């Protein structure tokens, strides 16, 4: 589990450097005005994620050499995915985001788990940032980092010891807990299980990354345009149609992933 500590340590180091920079610019205000630091949360998340992904990729290469040496995987490892499969994975990720949020909203309403704090926190973090800016840092950089840590390293190391399904459950639970609040823990844990499943079924390291990118980018775009689109009759019809299309994508995607894994019949990563 220690790769998550690497990610956390790098995040704290980047945050500390930002704090020192803010202290130089704003003086003592940097330490008691929380809005200064929260205004840079997106940048801190993205930069720390890219640095953590670079560091953990070296650990993965070492793991991969050990697996080849121990004959856990063939040499060279991995299975390629086509461009069309990559686009399909992005769409599956979007459907996971949509229906994952539906499930979490239902659970939070049923058990009266407050989402107000989480919503306010996200609004504060993204306030004043352009959509393209958010997509790069939160939609691409953060998923690459998290998948490198939690699927390439944590899940596959658990897989070496415990097999597929216990490792899917353990890694997704740890992924959820790592997010630090109950709402995100439920959402991230649910999606993390599908990300680990996709890695196993496709035999390709980039499949969970594409799912995660698709989920995050779709969520950001929905936050940006969803309310405005649903406010008109035509937009509302398109919005409802999107629910139907992404439900079909989600169902077809799960079947497609399962068939790829079970038809291959050997471990590729």
Q: What is the pLDDT, as a whole number, of residue 69? A: 77
Q: Is the pLDDT of residue 45 over 80?
A: yes
Report how many domains make up the chain: 1
- Domain ranges, residue 29: 2-264
Q: What is the pLDDT, as a whole number, of residue 117? A: 58
Residue 150, domain member (yes or no): yes
Q: What is the pLDDT, as a whole number, of residue 224? A: 83
Residue 121, domain member (yes or no): yes
pTM attached to this predicted model: 0.90
* Segments in the chain forming alpha helices (H): 2-26, 29-32, 34-38, 41-69, 83-110, 116-126, 131-134, 142-147, 156-162, 164-178, 182-202, 206-230, 233-264
Residue 90, domain member (yes or no): yes
Residue 132, domain member (yes or no): yes
Residue 166, domain member (yes or no): yes
Residue 19, domain member (yes or no): yes
Residue 269, domain member (yes or no): no
Q: Is the pLDDT of residue 88 over 70?
A: yes
Q: How many CB atoms lie within 10 A of CB 236?
A: 12
């Amino acid at each position: 589990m220690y790769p998550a500590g690497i990610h956390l340590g790098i995040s704290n180091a980047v945050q500390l450097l930002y704090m020192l920079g803010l202290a130089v610019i704003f003086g003592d205000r940097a330490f008691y005005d929380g809005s200064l630091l929260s205004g840079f949360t997106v940048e801190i998340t993205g930069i720390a994620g890219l640095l953590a992904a670079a560091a953990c990729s070296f650990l993965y290469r070492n793991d991969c050499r050990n697996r080849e040496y121990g004959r856990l995987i063939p040499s060279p490892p991995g299975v390629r995915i086509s461009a069309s499969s990559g686009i399909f994975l992005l769409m599956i990720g979007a459907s996971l985001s949509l229906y994952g949020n539906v499930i979490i909203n239902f659970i939070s309403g049923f058990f009266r788990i407050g989402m107000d704090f989480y919503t306010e926190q996200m609004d504060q973090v993204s306030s004043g940032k352009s959509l393209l800016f958010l997509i790069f840092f939160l939609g691409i950089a953060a998923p690459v980092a998290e998948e490198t840590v939690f699927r390439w390293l944590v899940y596959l190391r658990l897989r070496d010891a415990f097999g597929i399904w216990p490792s899917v459950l353990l890694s997704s639970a740890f992924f959820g807990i790592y997010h630090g609040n109950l709402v995100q823990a439920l959402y991230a844990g649910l999606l993390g299980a599908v990300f680990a499943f996709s890695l196993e079924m496709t035999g390709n390291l980039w499949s969970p990354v594409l799912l995660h990118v698709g989920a995050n980018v779709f969520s950001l775009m929905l936050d940006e345009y969803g309310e405005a689109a649903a406010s008109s009759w035509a937009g509302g019809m398109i919005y409802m149609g999107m629910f139907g299309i992404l439900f079909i994508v989600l169902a077809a995607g799960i079947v497609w992933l399962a068939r790829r894994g079970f038809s291959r019949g050997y471990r590729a990563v």
